[in-house]
Structure 1
Amino acid sequence: MDTSETTDSSIPPRSEGGPDPAPAARRGWRRWAMDTRPLRIPAYRRLWSSTVVTAVGSQLTAVAVPKQIYDITGSSAWVGYASLAGLVPMVVFALWGGAVADTVDRRKLLLITNSGIAVTSLLFWVQAVTRLESVAVLMVLLALQQAFFGLNSPARNASIARLVPEEELPAANALSSTVMQTGLVAGPLLAGALIPVIGLPELYLIDAVALCVTLWAVLRLPPLPPLTEAVTRRAGVREIVAGFRYISGHKVLLLSFLADIIAMVFGMPRALFPQLAAQTYAPYGEGLALGLLFAAIPIGAVLGGLFSGTFSRARRHGWMVIGAVTAWGAAVAGFGASRNLWIAAAFLAVAGVADMVSMVFRGAILLSAATDEMRGRMQGVFTVVVAGGPRLADVLHGTAGSAFGPRAAVAGGGLLVMALMLGLAAAVPALRRYRI
């Protein structure tokens, strides 16, 4: 880690006579409870609190947009087209946004992009309350929103390393990831409960108001300008290419991305949930089965975050990623072999815990192994991988499920994840050796 970062005024000063004193050992259940040390730092607490507010609000819009498109068209195909309309600009602007985040004050970039997302949510509300009922307008607004998100995410994630000490990065990632996963569970449930009561337009308005709270929190962050002369560079194609070249030259970064691709592309079975709910778990009730399957992974991830106290203090980050991805594969394989709905949901919840561990340590590796002038671009690539992997998995699992049956496709994918991850770890020692 670049030692110049420790001079950032938002991080508590270290003692000059030697290393930081070790924190008091936590005993009993406190050892397992979430590590909240980063919340003692005001700047990180503000960034995290903005995530708390928007985690649920953003999911209201994520539910409202496809619901409105389906209400207008009566076609699930149009819902899929809208998803693609949002994916493409998100990918493009995440890569560019990562380069921008490395050349400007990240706090200013967060203010601009959060303002853009808030205005977009307000426009969603306007088109809904005026009953415009235009799919084209919805898709344009969705593309614009995802473009702002692509610009925002790398800057937000890259800022964490400037706000907390290196040894607290896993704990900070656990805090942020747990909030986001909680939003994935609570947001859709809240949207489902509110739509019959207040209607779609108000969901958009709630999201817009929540984003205003986010702007207030970001406004109170300290300035986060580049630490080097990177400020004189322009964020263009050359800088994006330089980011990929940097990844290829640092094996631990490349392996962290490959680990996520392996886990998500070959082991994310969500495309087969509807078929499994309608066939394998039909005796339990198709609606119950489908809801439980979709909720199990994020519920497991939230539980993993709440009890992350022990693993967030681990120092062998590489081994934690290897173990987590392997455990994910094993849990997915167990899910594929299960005919009992409750056992299947339990396996998916275990997979969610493993996914949380993987997210925490892959995020920590990206923040600690990269220099500050490259962190934005690393987070841009990370955003693309996280968003694109599950979508590729949908295509792969859907095809395999049609060819071999859903349970065989799921179990086979889980076993393939285990084999590929262990093979990669054995062949390339850089990830095994990485620690802080």
Structure 2
Amino acid sequence: MAEEHKSSELQDIKELVDELYNYRDCYFETHSVEEAARKQEDVTLELEKVLKKLQEKEDSYKHKAEFLLLKGRCLSVAPDFSVAAEDCLSRAVKLEPGLVDGWNTLGEQYWKKGDLMAAKNCFTGALQQSKNKVSLRNMSMVLRQLPAADGDTHGKQVMESVDMARQAVQLDVADGTSWYILGNAYVSLFFSCGQRPQFSTQALSAYAQAERVDRAAACYPELHFNRAILFQYEEMFGSALGGYSRAAALDPGWPEPAEKEKQLMEYLNNVTELCQKKGKVKARRLRSMLSNLSTSSLGPCSSPDFRSWTGRVGSLESRPSSSLTHGLNGGVAALGKVVFSLASQDRMAFTFGMVDSEETCVVVMVYNTADSWGVLIGDTVVVPEPRVKRHSITHKDRSFDFKSIRVDSPLFLIVNGRTQNAQSLIVTSVSYKPQSE
């Protein structure tokens, strides 16, 4: 009878700890976004209540693995590393090595501590006990953060990370956290393995699925922030601004989303203003700059043997921006003079304005540039087979409207009649926020 009573008491404690996690993870189901600044304080208060009830039972259960696990889980609800949680969880898995939750939660504590290898060992240990979604997605995250000797090793780790996240999703397709972590894995794959469009599409699809199946996941500030970074890289600026703004609202204590939103707003404002004013170049100087703009300025692009970045072989015909259509413009080239440039922001893109023979200014965004690469006012630039986009963005009562050309590598450009050397290219990498545990 005593054993039945103890089992019942431990079940009651487990329900309290589960409710604590539910309170944290589903906070915005019972609170408005305006209360976001109070979330951590409210979670801490709930933690203290549950901890007090645990302490009342400690003398009876302090040597039982299940109680130590529950206390360790309770302490682990806080965002920072806890020595007490590590101690409880270490003792729990020593007493009962088959405790999958124990290994997972201990691994999360090591991760918070910054000991990635110890975290990985814990998740591996949990997977040896049973294949479970928590260990798989934690392994996915750790693999992406482990240091790598070289790019190939890192690429393999990222591929393995994607596989782990996929397996976690397959175990429970209704778990938004697993979908979110799969989205992050695809973002890493996109930036580390050739920026293939399908990886970006798969990342955005996974994030959308996380929101669709799980209201709690839809309130992860990290989801909105990480997706906004990808939106920004894909030049979906309105969506990026919305994502940064949502992340900042959901976690007011996290400064980076608001900073990113402000930076992007300033960037779009500068681009719009400089484009409208043609870089503030005086009319007489502009006419002088454009006077020597002719088909001879096409350089290598005028050769019948020219191979463009799309793989097409043949000479290209110069076209003013007014005759360029949305999307890829095959068989033609955009030609103009540089009238302004903006330093790369967060290594996203080197941006410059180019005025064509009709004195129309178009923005050119060049990705994967080395810090040392750039163009100067007055340079002649040819963009073979340009990809054109019209941006019309409204955010927080501010509007931005301009036409741009996207160039994925400086090697695709002709500057002052010359192709660019390999030293001008450095593959962009971006940092994003991993899921808080």
* TM class by smaller structure: under 0.3
Larger Rg belongs to: 2
TM-score (norm 1): 0.25
Of Structure 1 and Structure 2, the greater strand share is in 2
Larger relative contact order, structure 1 or 2 (CA cutoff 8 Å, min sep 6): 1
TM-score (norm 2): 0.25
